[in-house]
Structure 1
């Protein structure tokens, strides 16, 4: 039998607190990725990782996001 790893509740990001965060480059709202591992700035086309429940909002930590990936974001689908 395979044991499923338990998630430390201290490492789960509070979705309500995300509403207070903005992109460090554009100062626009961030969108939580579908897998909840990144915060995405649509305006800057950057994704900031979330490690152990802590968003790393440093431009050095961000990765570039392909426009097609942005179009697939659940929040942007109509």
Structure 2
């Protein structure tokens, strides 16, 4: 995924920055503890599609 695109995208809930998790295809909002999937190079920025992020992985 293009790093410039990651810089432009924000969390749909808090409008905060997102980070790419190197281990898988997710964009993570640390503030809301949600991971948004990236499928076929397309970020799915729907809250309904987000997965909770475990706080023990920080």
Q: Same fold (TM over 0.5)?
A: yes
- Could you tell me how far 1:36 is from its partner in structure 2? 4.5
Unaligned runs of 5+ in 1: 1-12, 72-78
- Asked if residue 57 in structure 1 is aligned to residue 45 in structure 2, the reply is yes
Q: 1:37 aligns with which of 7, 17, 25?
A: 25
Q: Aligned partners of 2:53 and 2:24: how far apart in 1?
A: 15
Residue-pair matches, total: 58
How does 1:1-78 map onto structure 2 within 5 Å?
13-69=1-57, 71=58
Q: Which has the higher Rg, Structure 1 or Structure 2?
A: 1
RMSD of aligned C-alpha atoms? Answer: 0.9
Higher strand share: 2
Q: Runs (4+) of structure 1 moved beyond 2 Å?
A: none
Provide the C-alpha distance between the structure 2 equivalents of 1:17 and 1:44, rounded to a whole number of angstroms: 20
